[in-house]
Homo-oligomer: A and B are copies of this chain.
């Protein structure tokens, strides 16, 4: 009974929020409010949802990456205290907001307001990841077997992610479509398996 929080329930709750937020993304698609009469009309309406489809794919990658990061990070962690729970809650709060930001982005892909709102959500979660990591390092929460090289590599990766998101978000204030492309580029960069992590774990 020594850790302040059961790691199993901490992870189960987080997995639940990630899985649920990612599934709620589908609410960004809506059938036309008025019943359409012909197949050609319906096809046109469905094809007209392509920005929503792009936003859906983007957010699916984004939340998928966050979840992957979460499990990669907490596999290294031994002890979860209230401060970690606090940052984790702020992180999940940003994640659970993404379905709304996604539907705004999908409906208004070329407006600054929606592209910026979307970026704010991403930057918020990235900030929480960085602050949570800083606390985990400061409070010595990692397993004894975790090397300081590995922690340093994680910290560098988190920082890069933060600046990539912050930069894309600021882009949105001037060129919303460019920032949309930047969000997608960042997500693809992180999602495509490059064998780096696998190599790292193979060395463990």
Q: Using a CB–CB distance below 8 Å, which chain A residues touch chain B?
A: 1-6, 9-13, 15-26, 29, 31, 35-36, 39, 42-43, 46, 56-57, 60-61, 64, 67-68, 71-72, 75-76, 81-83, 85-86, 89, 92-93, 96-97, 99-100, 103-104, 107-108, 111-114, 117, 143, 145, 191-195, 197-198, 201-202, 204
Contact = CB atoms under 8 A, between A and B. Distances in A.
Copy number in the complex reads: 4
B2 A192 contact: no
A22 to B, nearest CB: 6
Main secondary structure of the interface of A (DSSP, over half): helix
Given A60-B93, A83-B193, A13 B9 contact: no
28 contacts: A5-B71, A6-B75, A9-B11, A9-B15, A13-B15, A13-B18, A16-B18, A17-B23, A20-B23, A21-B23, A21-B26, A23-B24, A26-B96, A26-B99, A29-B97, A31-B107, A39-B113, A42-B108, A43-B112, A46-B104, A46-B114, A46-B117, A60-B92, A60-B93, A64-B89, A82-B193, A82-B198, A89-B191
A67 B201 contact: no
Contacts of A21: 23, 26
Contact of A4 (B76, B117, B201): B201
A86 B13 contact: no
A202 B4 CA distance: 8
Given A71-B9, A92-B22, A100 B29 contact: yes
